[in-house]
Amino acid sequence: MASRITAIQSGISGLDDLLHGGFVAGRMYLVHGKPGTGKSLLGMHFLEAGLENDETVLFIHGEESRAEILANGAEVDIDITGAEFLDLGPDSDFFTEDDTYDLVHPSDIEQERYSQDIHDAIREIDPTRVVVDPITQFRYVEANDYQFRKRLLSFMRFLKQREITVVVTATPSSDQKYDTEIRSLSDGIVEVTRGTGGRRIKVAKHRARGQMEGDHGMEIRDTGIDVFPDLVPEQYERSFDLRRVQSGIPELDDLLGGGFERETVAFISGPTGAGKTTTGTQFLAQAADDGIRSTVYLFEENIETFVHRSKSIGIPVDELREEGILSVTEVEPLTHSSEEFAHMVERDVDERGTELVMIDGIDGYTMSIQGEECSLVRKLHALTRLLKNRGITVLVTNEIPEITGISTATSTNLSYVADSIMFVSYVELNGNLRKVVGVLKKRTGGFEHTLREFEIRSDGIHVGEPLSGLHGILQGNPQMGTTGGPVRNE
């Protein structure tokens, strides 16, 4: 016997991904969350999708009027003016003379008659989709929890017999038994929350089709709700690319054993002001000369400052942007979840054909992206893995706390993410503050186990010959002597 399980769109593409294709037709779904988390808007998206498919849809409501619901939807570009509305609020009309019925307050009639009137209205409207916002209004007309469960079961069976898909909303209740009843009767449960990590969404239950596990990013914007599923890196069958991304500075490329290997993650670490972003930008500029499209995401400065600073040392970022070979995106603080940022990067890669991505820098990322730092580090790791698997090279600038010396390769224990780590650091020699550049790690190739002097001038980056006669630089205490070259510190 062929399966009758049919998926229908929720109206939110990201949510459909979490639901493995969408809601199952003819079943009941609970959208659970505190006030202000987007429950009603989610239901409205569901109805709007039905209207766009020329379906008849019904909104059963009790806390807001039809005018208020339509106004709320208009604020986020959701239009359900073509829906039927059934107002169960006190002292409200229920299908007046223009194709509605009169519904008196539930306390003035028998519960059986109350349910019968609702059933009669649904029979006349014959919708394919129904939203009940909130489902708690059914509870108010029942004498006890037993009667509520019985009434809800009856309502669900009535809808399923007519192959109607229903979305109901509910706010967490102090009555644990009531919450349990609602959740157990639902075929699917969508949980929406809002906290310090921003808006989140989770499918806790989905009978028949299953769901994408975990919680995911969610935003309410001018165009309604967007859901951003957590990206799962996929494995691609591809041969390793032996080509390298170079800086165009021979001494720096020699230090790196010819450059950073493609399809790897390279960190440029160092203290504030050492030149991490400038060094990364030099790689982007050379990539442009080599015909490689690049994108840089700025977390710690605006585009104008970045362009001006680059131009002042001879890196023509503005011209490369005009040519379309380099894209610069400024990421506004606390406006994106990690999942939304990952989807933004993935979209840019697909649309622009980007082969090199630079994330500038880690501290700005963990401060600007919504969520806890430890979770964000894991999300960043997943993003870099996804990009690598798709053949993208990733540069990441990373600030470390030491002004001189290198006691840790990266901040926040991120060294495991990096295939290569290059650092720029300050040293104090004879009362003068100077900079050095070196390589701490390279998984995919050889590199010089030496340090070179590093300088940023008006005509660009200058890298000197390998330093000799000094030791203790990585400990922040350079001394003249005959001790061998600097210790490699991975």
299-320 residue pLDDT tens: 989 999 999 999 999 999 999 9
Q: What is the mean pLDDT of the chain?
A: 84
- Do both 320 and 200 map to the same domain? no
pLDDT tier at 106 (50, 70, 90 boundaries)? Answer: very low
- Do both 262 and 159 map to the same domain? no
CB contact set of 440 (below 8 Å; sequence gap of 6+):
269, 406, 409, 421, 422, 423, 488, 489, 490
- Do both 112 and 255 map to the same domain? no
| Segments in 313-401 forming alpha helices (H) | 317-323, 338-352, 362-368, 373-389
Mean pLDDT of 184-198: 90
Asked if residue 112 is part of any domain, the answer here is yes
Asked if residue 488 is part of any domain, the answer here is no
Asked if residue 93 is part of any domain, the answer here is yes
Question: Please, are residues 266 and 418 in contact by the beta-carbon 8 Å criterion?
Answer: yes
Asked if residue 2 is part of any domain, the answer here is no
- Do both 129 and 183 map to the same domain? yes
Q: 183, 199, 228 — which closes off a domain?
A: 228
Question: Please, are residues 184 and 175 in contact by the beta-carbon 8 Å criterion?
Answer: no
Cis before residue 481, ω within 30 degrees of 0? no
Question: What residues form DSSP beta bridges with 462?
Answer: 455
- Match 């990067």 to its residue by tokens: 345
- Do both 171 and 273 map to the same domain? no
Tell me the pTM: 0.79
Per-residue pLDDT at 485 exceeds 80: no
Q: 228, 260, 292 — which closes off a domain?
A: 228
- Do both 249 and 159 map to the same domain? no
DSSP line for 17-31: HHTTSSEETT-EEEE
CB contact set of 460 (below 8 Å; sequence gap of 6+):
249, 282, 313, 314, 315
**Per-residue pLDDT, 401:** 73
- Do both 403 and 358 map to the same domain? yes
Range of the domain at 381: 244-480
For the range 239-245, what are the long-range contacts, defined as Cβ-Cβ under 8 Å and sequence gap of 24 or more? 240/444, 241/391, 245/283, 245/286, 245/287, 245/292, 245/356, 245/393
Asked if residue 489 is part of any domain, the answer here is no
pLDDT tier at 490 (50, 70, 90 boundaries)? Answer: very low
Length of the chain: 490
- Write out the two tokens for 489: 């510190």
**Per-residue pLDDT, 351:** 93
DSSP line for 409-461: SSGGG-GGG-SEEEEEEEEEETTEEEEEEEEEEETTS---SS-EEEEEETTEE
Per-residue DSSP letter, 217: E
In this structure, the strands spanning 420-429 and 198-206 are unpaired
Of residues 453, 452, 451, 454, the one with CA closest to residue 486: 451
> pLDDT (tens digit, 9 = 90+) per residue, 42-53?
999 999 999 999
Q: 186, 204, 228 — which closes off a domain?
A: 228
Per-residue pLDDT at 133 exceeds 70: yes
Question: Please, are residues 440 and 284 in contact by the beta-carbon 8 Å criterion?
Answer: no
- Do both 295 and 183 map to the same domain? no
pLDDT tier at 197 (50, 70, 90 boundaries)? Answer: confident
Asked if residue 52 is part of any domain, the answer here is yes
- Do both 153 and 288 map to the same domain? no
pLDDT tier at 283 (50, 70, 90 boundaries)? Answer: very high
Of residues 111, 112, 114, the one with CA closest to residue 102: 114
**Per-residue pLDDT, 474:** 61
- Do both 348 and 387 map to the same domain? yes
Question: Please, are residues 42 and 12 in contact by the beta-carbon 8 Å criterion?
Answer: yes
> pLDDT (tens digit, 9 = 90+) per residue, 422-433?
999 888 777 678
- Do both 279 and 353 map to the same domain? yes
Beta carbons within 10 angstroms of residue 310's beta carbon: 21
Mean pLDDT of 214-225: 94
- Write out the two tokens for 342: 């990952």
CATH number at residue 455: 3.40.50.300
pLDDT tier at 104 (50, 70, 90 boundaries)? Answer: very low
**Per-residue pLDDT, 196:** 78
Asked if residue 372 is part of any domain, the answer here is yes
**Per-residue pLDDT, 319:** 96
Between residues 103 and 31, the one the model is more confident about: 31
Can you tell me the distance from the alpha carbon of 404 to that of 243, in angstroms, rounded to the nearest whole number? 33
Question: Please, are residues 145 and 181 in contact by the beta-carbon 8 Å criterion?
Answer: yes
Q: At what angle do helices 66-75 and 39-52 cross, to 10 degrees?
A: 90
pLDDT tier at 229 (50, 70, 90 boundaries)? Answer: very high
- Match 């054909």 to its residue by tokens: 353
Amino acid at 211: Q
**Per-residue pLDDT, 421:** 93
- Write out the two tokens for 257: 């054993």
- Do both 290 and 162 map to the same domain? no
The total of structural domains in the chain comes to 2
| Phi, psi (rounded to 5 degrees) for 138 | -65, -35
> pLDDT (tens digit, 9 = 90+) per residue, 232-269?
776 555 555 678 999 999 999 999 999 999 999 999 99
> pLDDT (tens digit, 9 = 90+) per residue, 332-389?
887 888 899 999 999 999 999 999 999 998 888 888 777 777 778 888 888 999 999 8
Question: Please, are residues 398 and 269 in contact by the beta-carbon 8 Å criterion?
Answer: yes
- Match 């001494």 to its residue by tokens: 251
Question: What residues form DSSP beta bridges with 227?
Answer: 218
Per-residue pLDDT at 135 exceeds 70: yes
